[in-house]
Amino acid sequence: MLFPFLIQAFLTVILLGLFCHLAYRKWAGRRALRLPPGPLQLPILGNVHQLPQDYQEKTLARWGRQYGDIVFAQLFRTPAVIISSVSVAKDLMEKRSANYSSRPHFVLQTELMGWDSAITHMPYNDRFRKHRKWIQDAIQSKSALLSFRSLQYRETYTFLTSITESPDEFMSHIRRFAAALIMEITYGHTITSLNDQFLRIAERATTETVANGSPGSMLVDFFPILKHMPLWMPGAGFLRRAAQVKYHVRRMLDKPYDLVKNRLATGTASPSFTSALLEQASRGNVSNPEEEEEDIKGAAGVLFAAGSDTTVSVLSTFLLAMVLHPEVYQKAQTEIHQVTGGTRLPGFEDREQLPYLACVLKELLRWHCPVPLGIPHLASVSDEYSGYDIPQGSLIIPNIWAMTQRTDVFPDPSTFRPERFMEPGGQVTDSIDPANMVFGFGRRVCPGQDFADASIWLLIANMVATMDISRAQDTRGNDITPSASFTSGFVSHPKPFKCRISPRSASVIKLISDMSTIHA
């Protein structure tokens, strides 16, 4: 009995010695590099043990304040560079975009959850450029943005009508508004209610994805061998959950695509992103039809997934901010009334005459950015920046939340104060625009930025013009003051809150009704 034990002990010592030798070599190699400063690391773990499960952006921001705008950390075997400065982010991800435009391989979301055909997760390659061109041509050109205006007006007035009828369900109306815009553009499908089957399928896929792991947040992303664990094995719960998410993602990609394909076959398809690509594929010389089909499904699916949830976050944050800061809302109402006279609803032609509302939107993105950490970029080759070495394969993590909360750039950052973007002469400052942070950087910047901006502006302008927003009251008539608190996760939302929304007057209700009829 002793002999096998001695053999086992001997092998353990040998393996331990080998591990220590390799760890020392790696440590010595790192010592030779001029790495950015960062927190102390432990063997094997690196700095993973120092990251909380929730609100990681706050811990990373604290590192930034302690060590500087560029911080080095080790996440198991993976080097990571955390950026807390817009100027550093632009220096690397925009000015050196050839090196910092790719993505790490996210095993959980690409292989296990089925998002491998989403441009947001693709490495920077020909397939990425193909998807990017499709999306840019469809929603980024000036002609495309102008063509969407009738849809944006229609859905804005539908929202106003709905919130007039059932104001307590404001979150449902926001979700419907965001989804309806994207669904119509992407698939030519009009959403008339929250019970729409395609809306339910898409929302299930996106919420399940966010709930079960952000990009680069799970152990399997650092140790891909874990994806081969037997499902019955303790600790394999993430695999079972990922399989369920993949089912919903697959339905999201397939169902609306099949709808458009069938409508094209019967000649009943409305113009859309998907129908245009299908018609283009039918005319062109496609070498791999199955691959082309998957590309179209992925490009269409990511439009909804990337656009709707962030729009919901921004609009719900607006309501929360206005409930907490009625003086801001009143000032915005006064500005709009001066432009419209209260006899019509604001339109895109009024935007340049509403500088205070522009500041409100800027402060909205700054006060609470919808995607606190973005999706990590990848250093494709080793680089040197500001005297520091950035190893090949490093995760480049832009801490967008930290950038919007810097006290040296935005004094008293927890306070919602649109005036910080207003110059003494009443003009809107463009020197520091939160939109240049929250939509991403370089070749990975969100291609739907202008469309999202226009949609959000139009809805908020019309809400300010037509609705009074105030604090809800309890059964005793006392005001209920919500807290400025937000959920943790890849996309962050305000935690559930109550508010009171009501039309400003009977004439406003008639204006909404008239405009809804015109744009029906």
| Annotated binding residues for heme | 446
- Angstrom CA distances, 142 to 137, 149, 306, 435, 451, stand at 10, 11, 21, 19, 10
SS3 of 437-462: the string is: HHCCCHHHCCCCHHHHHHHHHHHHHH
SS3 state at 423: coil
Q: Is the distance from CB of 520 to CB of 514 less than 8 angstroms?
A: no
Q: Is the distance from CB of 363 to CB of 420 less than 8 angstroms?
A: yes
Beta strands 78-83; 70-75: pairing state: antiparallel
SS3 state at 464: helix
The closest of 127, 105, 126, 123 to 296, measured between CA atoms, is 127
Q: Fill in the amino acid letter for 294.
A: E
Give the E-state strand segments of 76-173 in sequence order. Answer: 78-83
Q: What is the DSSP code string of 484-496?
A: --B--SSS--BPP
**Is residue 246 within a helix (H) or strand (E), and if so which, with residue range?**
helix 237-266
d(CA 258, CA 451): 26
Burial class (CB in 10 A: 0-12, 13-18, 19+), 494: buried
Hey, which residues does 501 pair with through a beta bridge?
A: 469
d(CA 164, CA 466): 10
Binding site listing: 446
Number of Cβ within 10 Å of residue 402's Cβ equals: 25
Beta strands 395-398; 377-378: pairing state: antiparallel
Number of Cβ within 10 Å of residue 271's Cβ equals: 11
SS3 state at 477: coil
Beta strands 78-83; 395-398: pairing state: parallel
d(CA 117, CA 127): 9
- Angstrom CA distances, 85 to 65, 142, 182, 403, 450, stand at 11, 31, 32, 6, 23
d(CA 136, CA 367): 28
Q: Is the distance from CB of 428 to CB of 112 less than 8 angstroms?
A: no
The closest of 60, 113, 109 to 84, measured between CA atoms, is 60
d(CA 168, CA 162): 10
- Report how far Cα 460 is from the mean position of its chain's Cα atoms: 19
